[in-house]
Amino acid sequence: MRMKGIKKLAATTGSEIAEAALVIPIFFMVLLGIYWFGRAFNTYATINHAAREAARAAVAQTCATCGTPNSSLTADQVADQVKQYMQASRLDPAKVSNLGGNRTSCSGGTVACSVVGASEPQVCVRFNVQLPASASLAGSGPPACGVSVEFQYPYQFPLPFTSINNQQIMLNAAVQMTGEY
């Protein structure tokens, strides 16, 4: 009886090993893809959170009893808010670049993007910018005025043996916020 078991082991053709050699690399590539796409989504959420918090700080009143709707923050201080949030999430603020472009001013004309921060981060902060009607509280009537914070951040996918290996994509963060009155 014992001899039959040994013959059975010797009779394997090695197909299991060949199948494993084909499936295991694909399985690990899928796992790496899930990890790196998840990291890209996390980076995107982080830069949008940084832009949202900087815009919130830019429109917030300096004190509750002042009655003035505008904050005393400068564009450099708003960019510093972005920098602090990015550093807290271990992202490099030196990689931030501005999106450029123009927006319509509340007083008429256009508001060009002036790059804030000569070295880091290069955040585009616009005050007194006209926001779309959908961003206003009522959703109808004249467009609201507020602050716009925009920038982009590069992300690189390190997926070997794929067409997106070390391909760099730019993740955009653009937040517009009305003033708190």
In the prediction, which pLDDT does 176 show? 87
105, 151 contact by CB (below 8 A):
no
Tell me what pLDDT residue 97 has: 85
Q: How many structural domains are present in the chain?
A: 1
pTM, entire model: 0.74
- Residue 136 has a pLDDT of 47
The predicted pLDDT at position 168 comes to: 86
- The domain in which residue 167 lies consists of 3-178
pLDDT, averaged in runs of 10, over the chain (181 residues) = 55 77 90 90 94 88 55 78 90 85 78 64 83 59 79 85 79 84 53
Per-residue model confidence (pLDDT) at position 42: 94
Predicted pLDDT at 38: 93
